Amino acid sequence: MNIGQAIKSLRQKSGMTQVQLADKCGMSKNALCSLETGKAYPPMATIKKLCQAFDIPQSFLLMASIEEQDIPEDKRVLYRALLVPLREELLTKTDNGKQRDDI
């Protein structure tokens, strides 16, 4: 999953449309679409705004966007073992829309 896919997944899990999230972050829908499709990479200021909109720490979004080729080859076995549970934890929200506190 790249950062665009992570943003899209979080947006969908939050029940927001692209227009709603773009408005919350002070950006255009087209700019958000470019992020979600991987045509652009968000600057840190945008990552901060996105995480505020999702009410998650920046590290959660960045961690959700790590791909296998980003990991040193000798650590990939561990990465693969943790990949699915970690992403599920990072992208799972409680019923009230807040990120889980037990991570």
7, 74, 76, 13: which is closest to 35 by C-alpha? 7
pTM attached to this predicted model: 0.72
Q: Is residue 7 part of a domain?
A: yes
Please, what is the average pLDDT of the chain? 84
What residues are paired with 93 via a beta bridge?
Answer: 99
Torsion sign across C-alpha atoms 91, 92, 96, 100 = negative
What is the average per-residue pLDDT within 24-33? 97
Of 42 and 66, more confident: 42
Residue type, 75: K
Query: In which domain, by residue range, is 38 found?
Result: 3-91
Q: Is residue 96 part of a domain?
A: no
Residue 90: predicted pLDDT: 66
Q: Report the number of distinct structural domains present in the chain.
A: 1
Q: Is residue 100 part of a domain?
A: no
Tens of pLDDT, residues 14-24: 999 999 999 99
Of 78 and 63, more confident: 78
Q: Is residue 33 part of a domain?
A: yes
- Is the CB of residue 61 less than 8 Å from the CB of residue 47? yes
